[in-house]
Chains A and B, each alone.
Chain A
């Protein structure tokens, strides 16, 4: 039938291209991960699972794994928390549509910034000697804070930027979703003498459970790609305090001598972990939200 042929031809080029590129990169990574290829030397050999064995003994890799997990948790939880609190606050405290729209516009600005630009902006703000934030810190008597140079603080300082971009963005989305909710359940709760926070905790937010979960998933996926932010702000430092897996893989595979095979093994592991976790989470959530 002719319509079927048309549909086939709309899908074929796009999916052909995507499948080919995905296949090339995964097959390539798999292939290199069992070799000992490095950019410095032209020839290479098959080494089996040697790269993977070494990875599990590599303390810097294990550290990167930990930092990545920490990064995911902080940024996902932080963004959602900020979004939920602020959207409810805005929903309750802004009445005029124009004011609300202007605030939404302001909240959308950060997420549109290139990560590189956001990184520079905040590096400038965080700067110990000339940064605006440290100036405020000194005014309130905290003294100079080494936001990016202190190993215990650096990850949180970078995560704050991430939350600044995504938390405010999600605030706008949640606010818009709150606006689309039917008024009746809220009014019924008001008639039941529920307090404002109770209305949101027991009525509106549970109604938005499905979209909030999707936002969490989106954020979890996007948090995996925070290379740009961390790379520009700290470069993984101080030491390896903010070195996530993709940063370490980059350092290994490109920056330091181009140990392509070792980095490939790492990215294969990264891919595996991601797929397993996301498939589990995806299924669990589907069951739970259904």
Chain B
């Protein structure tokens, strides 16, 4: 009997936890399909006539479309370049002697300590002087700090997990280090590397401060979304919710990948 009670209790608690985790997101998605008069009610409405109005408003709004375009370009290019520079660097780093490796890794990590404002403010002035303020190029350049360092940081363990003996076996067959990297280490580490890239993507896709300060007019999606609040006189909650849903979708697509990435990262090292 006592067991039954404690079981029911733990089941209820589990359900409650799931509710706390997911309800906010689900409620927002639900509300994105509501007309404003279904939202502004004293008692929350679960049954209503769904409408696509909000999404129509959003997608027909040119600034959102521009934001989406800017986001795709900026995030795409900076993650791509980040991978191009960061992945080989992580491979090189993984083969350095422990001490040099530790120090260079700490440098990479310490970049993350830099408050974004400390990066943003000098760059505003420099960009104004160079004439690349409010351009995608300028934003991409600053994002490279994030993408390159994050890719390096997350890829070093991936390369360290490639068994050393496999690389040595390849060397015994006459492969140069470059070939070993391209034909062995890269494909073997690929699943973890992909996770690192996804994580990096999510990080810059979600970034607001730098985009807000360095490219206010050519803003990315978060900047545009953050500015919707002031669209009309009344707070357009339906539209905001719809915008939120659009903003949320791309990162959520990767949730399964993130899970696999965590599983690999916590798994015990090479056997």
On whether A and B touch (CB less than 8 Å), the answer reads: yes
**B104 — nearest CB in chain A belongs to which residue?**
A15
**Residues on B with beta carbons closer than 8 Å to the beta carbon of A34:** none
Please tell me if the beta carbons of B115 and A250 are within 8 angstroms of each other in the complex.
no
Q: Could you tell me the distance between the alpha carbons of A250 and B263 in the complex, rounded to whole angstroms? A: 38
How near does chain B come to A128, taking the closest CB pair, in angstroms? Answer: 12
**B253 — nearest CB in chain A belongs to which residue?**
A112
B135, CB-defined interface residue at 8 Å: no
Q: Give chain B interface residues in 123-180, CB to chain A under 8 Å.
A: 123-126, 128, 141-142, 144-145, 148-149, 152, 176-178
Q: Could you tell me the distance between the alpha carbons of A232 and B230 in the complex, rounded to whole angstroms? A: 12
Please tell me if the beta carbons of B24 and A121 are within 8 angstroms of each other in the complex.
yes
Q: Give chain A interface residues in 108-165, CB to chain B under 8 Å.
A: 108-110, 112-117, 120-122, 124-125, 127, 129-130, 132, 135, 164
Please tell me if the beta carbons of A25 and B122 are within 8 angstroms of each other in the complex.
yes
Q: Could you tell me the distance between the alpha carbons of A47 and B27 in the complex, rounded to whole angstroms? A: 53
**Residues on B with beta carbons closer than 8 Å to the beta carbon of A21:** 141-142, 144-145
Interface flags, B18-50, vs A, CB<8A=1, else 0 = 101111110110010000000111111000000
Please tell me if the beta carbons of B114 and A22 are within 8 angstroms of each other in the complex.
yes
Q: Which of A7, A8, A28, A86 contacts B122 (CB 8 A)?
A: A28
Q: Which of A13, A246, A267 contacts B89 (CB 8 A)?
A: A13
Known contacts A124-B27, A267-B118, then 19 further A-B pairs from the complex at CB < 8 Å, ordered by chain A residue? A7-B95, A11-B89, A15-B104, A18-B148, A28-B123, A37-B125, A105-B259, A108-B259, A109-B22, A114-B247, A116-B222, A116-B226, A121-B24, A121-B27, A124-B240, A172-B262, A221-B113, A246-B115, A268-B118
9 residue pairs of the A-B complex, CB under 8 angstroms, read: A14-B86, A86-B17, A104-B259, A124-B241, A176-B266, A250-B117, A267-B117, A268-B118, A270-B118
Chain A positions within 8 Å of B, measured between CB atoms, are 2-3, 6-8, 10-11, 13-15, 17-18, 21-22, 24-29, 31-32, 37, 39, 86, 89-90, 93-94, 101, 103-110, 112-117, 120-122, 124-125, 127, 129-130, 132, 135, 164, 168, 172-173, 176-177, 180, 221, 224-225, 227-228, 231-232, 245-246, 249-250, 253-254, 258, 260, 263-264, 266-268, 270-271, 274-275, 278
